[in-house]
A and B are shown apart, each in its own frame.
Chain A
Amino acid sequence: VIDVFLAGPDRLLPYLLVAAALFSLGVVSVASRRNAVGYLMGIELMLNAANLDFVAYGRFRGPEPAAQAQVAALFVIALAAAEAAVALALVYAVFRNFRDVDLDKIRTLNGD
């Protein structure tokens, strides 16, 4: 453990730990938030965790140069931007119609 701690940035394990924790926190966020924007933040956390894993594996496990994994990360970032833009536009539209962004209350298809 001490060895891992001392050589932190040169080992794969610390990155995996951080990414796993990020992903779990993202799951917690998605599961507990009922505000749509908060929900979105959880998704962003999970995407970041996946990206971090991509780049870390690319650096320590992948073929040289490590750029393949980074391209994947870039694509994820770009898609996250697109997703955030559309999601927030949707949130805005929902807010305009319902005056609320609580995901549990937007259930008019339910027949209520």
Chain B
Amino acid sequence: VNRPAWHDPGPKTVLGKTGRFDGSEVLDILLARDETAEFVAGKLWREFVSSSPDAVEVRRLGAVFRDAKYEVKPVMRALLLSEAFWAPENRGALVKSPVELVVGMLRVFDVRPMDLRAAAIVCAVLGQNPFAPPNVKGWPGGEAWINSATLLGRKQAVERLLRNDDRAAPQAMPAMDMRAPAGSREERLRRAMERGLAAYQVDWARWTRAAPEGEKLQHLLLALEPAHEIPAAATGPERARRLAGDPVFQLK
């Protein structure tokens, strides 16, 4: 809806250029600058490589992005083929976001949920309510994902999902308790997470048939050597549980 009366049509100065710009002309001014592509390249770096972007590389990737007329594929290709992406010191250097952790677990342990509501609630408890960032700036990400509350929440989610019990997996979400529960919003969410995770279950028999063992299992689950030693006696599902309980499981 265009409401001309709500607009100020007077001349404006944007980054040194003055004129009567409309919205897309302002975007053109932004896109004409190197910083715009470098800003995006820096964000990609923090998502895929490390939390400390290399200024020279970010300039190079920014140029690739801009030269390709802001096509995403070329800059992703350049990023994923860069030496930094493959450098050993950048392995496991980033903290998984709650969505990466939860979806990653469901996939790697081959959980096939009927209903993703519980997964969304887990993400919310861990600080990432899907599609609802705290503000226009988005989630701060990186190490800010981890504080004492969210770290214990992550570990609890891992433990609950990978629990060892023989009950048949329920087919759907258990009925929500409709009584007004006591406690703060955080507490109610946390209880909803615990209830919801009860609906998810790893089929350990199926998983064991397909799962790798030893070294390969570790490489499947962890980006780095575990921080704590896993006893050799722990095998199969028990080994998987211990690897997923290791702090390194929080990294990507």
Q: Do A and B come from one complex?
A: no
Residues of B participating in the A interface, judged by any CB pair closer than 8 Å: none
